[in-house]
Every structure is written in C-alpha cells, then in structure tokens.
Amino acid sequence: MKNNIPNNLKDILNRIAIACKNANRDPEAVKLLMATKTVSAENIKIAFESNQTLIGENKIQEIKEKYDSLKSVKHEKHFIGHLQTNKVKELLRYDVDCIQSLDRLRLAEKLQNRLEYEDKTIDAYLQFNTSYEDSKFGMKPENALTFALAVQKLDRINIKGLMTIGLFSAEDDKVRKCFKLLKNIQKELLENGIPAHELSMGMSGDLEIAIEEGATIIRVGTAIFGKREHPDSYYWNEGL
C-alpha cells in the first residue's frame, strides 16, 4: 500500500483539478490536508516527499508518538479530532498550528486560559454539526453567531475558518445540503466581522461536492493512505 502513496496523491490532485474546473474555481484556492490518523510516521514522510506537508491528526496520543520522527521535515499540523477539555494543556505541547474542531465555548475558554498562561496564540476553525447526527460533534448551526462572537472575544484564539463533516450518504443532495449550510454560516459570520475565511469540508468520498460548494481545505485520508483498521466512529465518538 505504501508505494501507492505518491500515485494516490497524484490522483487526488487530479480530482481537485477536475472539480475546480467544473466549479469554475482556481485549484490554488483549495488546499489538501492529509488526514493521517493511524498512518505511520514513515508513510507520512513518503507523502511529505511528494510536497504535501499539511496534515491533520485526531488523537493527541498519535501526535505524540509521531512527533519526533516528523520533526525533521517542515510541515503544518492541524488537530481535527474531538478535543477533551482536560487535554488542552497536553495538545499545546506538540506545535499544533490550528485546531479545526473547536465546537464549544467551554473548550474555547479552557484554551484561552492555557494560551494566556503560556503566552501563545493559536488558529482555530469552528466546527459545526451540519448533518444534525447525534454521532457527530460540532456546534449547532442555529447557535453559530452567538458562539462565534463569544469565541472572538477570546484574544488568544484566532478564528480562521469553519469545519464540518458532511453526512455519509450515497445521496449527493443530502451531502451537499451540509456543505451549503456551512457556507451559509460562513456568510453570516463574515457579515458580522468574524474572519472565518477558510471552509474545511469534504473528504475522500465527497470532496468534489465540497469543492463545488466552496471548500478551501479538503481533508483526505483513505484515498491517500488506504483503508483504516478501525471504523471512523472510533475517532468521532470518543467520550460519548
């Protein structure tokens, strides 16, 4: 499988290019984040050699395990998993550039406190539950503006964008609805002065739809690194 990584990356870049063409968008405006949960540091480095250096991890434990091996290559790391409030301090030890899964005020306040203490700042995306599934994390779309305004008051957290996980469905219309909703939330927040310019949406199976709906970052795992050993619920339902 690992020898396929460079080819898989080419295929993904091709899919991005075609989707952008169809949507009349500049391919440069869509970044590829490699979702690297369960992927070894060795395989991540193979992807780095193909000039893809933006990764997303779901678990602090994995970030910690791969930290030393990946340190030698300059890369950008986002946290995309569910973040427990009591793990904030630990997460900040590993040079995470952005937290894409900021989904509740209590977590934001915890972050703010710790960042103040360490005299640091961090980029963040607000995560929304656009599919309204109980199994998914994310703030309710109805509370978007209230939530965003409250986070914006926390001066150590720089809101850069929004993130969502679309519905897993073979029905494209239902998936598209999730991405349209995130785009609408973005519009509302931008009108209110919140600089949420990035839209992180779309994965291996639905990246074309996400790009058509305005994604600026897609998060791709399986299509680059192959199938994972655990079902995704293992990553998304932590703590439930």
Binding string, 57-96, against ligand PLP, x = CB under 6 A?
-x---------------------x----------------
Q: What angle do CA 21, 195, 34 make, to 5 degrees?
A: 50
Give me the least distance between CB of 22 and ligand PLP, in Å please.
20
Rounded (10°) CA dihedral 189, 192, 196, 202:
20
What sign has the CA pseudo-torsion 210, 214, 219, 223? Answer: positive
Site for ligand PLP, residues 154 to 173, rule: CB under 6 A:
165
Nearer to ligand PLP, 194 or 210 (CB): 210
Binding string, 11-50, against ligand PLP, x = CB under 6 A?
------------------------x-x-------------
Count of chain residues binding ligand PLP (CB under 6 A) = 14
Candidate list 75, 136, 156, 219; residue touching ligand PLP; CB under 6 A: 219
- Which residues bind to ligand PLP, rule: CB under 6 A? 35, 37, 58, 80, 165, 203-205, 219-223, 235
